[in-house]
C-alpha cells in the first residue's frame, strides 16, 4: 500500500488525476471504476482541464460506477448518473454508451447485478478504480459488516450514511434507503485502486483503514490485501496516522526518485 500525503485538497486531486492520466496514456482503452461523493470532484475537475487543455483522450475509455441509489431516475439531480454527467461525462469526449452505472430502476435486482459483474468481466476488468470513503469506512456502499468477498448487490444503507448524504438532498426529500453497489470482492479485483480522502472528518476512519485490522467493520481496510492500492490524502485526513512520518519519508526517498 502506498500513502501519498498532499498539503491541500487541490494538490491531492491533481496527484490522483495524474495517476488516472498515466493509466490512460499507457492504455487508451482503459476501464475506469468511478466514484461519486464530494471528494472526487477535484479529481474530475482536473481531468476535465487535462482533456480541454492537454488533449487527455477518453474516446476509447469505458467506465463503471461503483453504485447508484435505488429508485432515483437518471434525471433526478441526486442520482449518481446525474452527478457523473454534470461533473465529468458531459465535459469530456467519452462515448455515452461506454459509461455504466448500476440501474436504479430495474425490477430484477439480482439479474441486473449479475449482468453488471458480467459486463465488467467482458470489458477485461477494471484497470483503475477510484474510491472515496464513507464516515463509517465504507467503500462504494459496502457498509460495515459487508462480506469482504461480496459482489454487486442491493444494500441497505446505515442510518449514519443516510444522514451523511442528506446534505445533498432538498429539505424534506428522503435519501433512498437502498443502493446497488459493487461488492468489496468486485473492488478488490481492480488492477489498481486509488482511494481519496480529504479533511479532518475523515482522519479517524483513514487511520482505521490503513493502520487498523482488516475488518468488515471498516470495509476500506480490505485494501491492505490489494497489491496496488494508493491512498491520496491531504494533511488533515492524514492527521491521525501513526505512521505518517514514515509515509512522508517513503515519498521523499522513492527508489525511482520523487513522484
Q: Which residues are catalytic?
A: 67, 136, 138, 143
Query: Closest separation between CB of residue 67 and ligand GLP, Å?
Result: 5
CB of 28 to ligand GLP, least distance (A): 26
Binding mask 176-215 for ligand GLP (x = CB under 6 A): ----------------------------------------
Nearer to ligand GLP, 132 or 176 (CB): 132
DSSP assignment of 130-158: EE---TTS-BTTB-TT--TT--SEEEEPP
Judge contact between 221 and 186, C-beta under 8 A: no
Cα separation, 252 vs 246, in Å, equals 10
Among 99, 161, 186, 216, which residue interacts with ligand GLP (rule: CB under 6 A)?
A: 161
> From residue 113 to residue 142, what is the string marking binding to ligand GLP with x (rule CB under 6 A)?
-------------------xxx-----xx-
Contact pick of 39, 79, 146, 150 for ligand GLP (by CB under 6 A): 39
Q: Which member of 12, 66, 101, 120 binds ligand GLP (CB under 6 A)?
A: 66
Q: In angstroms, rounded to a whole number, what is the distance separating the alpha carbons of residues 193 and 209?
A: 14
Q: How many residues bind ligand GLP (CB under 6 A)?
A: 14
Q: With respect to ligand GLP, which residue has the nearer C-beta, 93 or 239?
A: 239
Q: Whole-angstrom Cα distance, residue 221 to residue 231?
A: 12
Minimum CB distance to ligand GLP smaller for 19 or for 140 = 140
User: Angle 151-83-139 (CA atoms, 0-180°, nearest 5)?
Assistant: 30
CB of 95 to ligand GLP, least distance (A): 24
Contacts of 159 (CB under 8 A, 6+ apart): none
Q: How many CA atoms lie within 13 A of 45 on its CB side?
A: 11
CA pair distance 109, 120, nearest whole angstrom = 17
Q: Which of 6, 13, 23, 36 binds ligand GLP (CB under 6 A)?
A: 36
Joined together, the cell numbers standing for residue 76 give 433526478
Q: Which residues bind to ligand GLP, rule: CB under 6 A?
A: 35-39, 66-67, 132-134, 140-141, 161, 165
Amino acid at each position: 500500500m502506498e500513502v501519498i500525503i498532499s498539503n491541500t485538497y487541490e494538490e491531492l486531486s491533481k496527484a490522483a488525476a495524474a495517476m488516472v492520466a498515466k493509466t490512460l496514456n499507457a492504455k487508451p482503452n482503459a476501464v475506469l471504476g468511478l466514484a461519486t461523493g464530494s471528494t472526487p470532484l477535484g479529481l474530475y475537475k482536473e481531468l476535465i482541464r487535462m482533456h480541454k487543455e492537454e488533449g487527455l483522450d477518453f474516446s476509447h475509455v469505458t467506465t463503471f460506477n461503483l453504485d447508484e441509489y435505488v429508485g432515483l431516475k437518471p434525471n433526478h439531480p441526486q442520482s449518481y448518473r446525474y452527478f457523473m454527467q454534470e461533473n465529468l461525462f458531459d465535459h469530456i469526449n467519452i462515448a455515452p454508451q461506454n459509461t455504466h452505472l448500476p440501474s436504479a430502476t430495474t425490477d430484477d435486482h439480482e439479474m441486473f447485478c449479475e449482468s453488471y459483474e458480467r459486463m465488467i468481466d467482458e470489458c477485461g476488468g477494471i484497470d483503475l478504480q477510484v474510491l472515496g470513503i464513507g464516515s463509517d469506512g465504507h467503500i462504494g456502499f459496502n457498509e460495515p459488516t459487508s462480506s469482504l468477498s461480496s459482489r454487486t448487490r442491493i444494500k441497505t444503507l446505515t442510518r449514519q450514511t443516510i444522514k451523511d448524504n442528506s446534505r445533498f438532498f432538498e429539505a424534506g426529500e428522503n435519501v433512498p434507503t437502498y443502493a446497488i453497489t459493487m461488492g468489496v470482492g468486485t473492488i478488490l479485483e481492480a488492477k489498481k485502486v486509488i482511494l481519496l480522502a480529504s479533511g479532518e472528518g475523515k482522519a479517524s476512519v483513514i487511520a482505521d483503514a490503513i493502520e487498523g485490522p482488516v475488518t468488515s467493520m471498516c470495509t476500506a481496510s480490505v485494501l491492505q490485501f490489494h497489491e496496488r492500492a494508493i491512498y491520496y490524502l491531504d494533511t488533515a485526513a492524514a492527521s491521525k496516522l501513526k505512521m505518517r512520518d514514515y509515509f512522508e519519508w517513503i515519498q521523499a526517498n522513492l527508489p525511482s526518485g520523487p513522484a
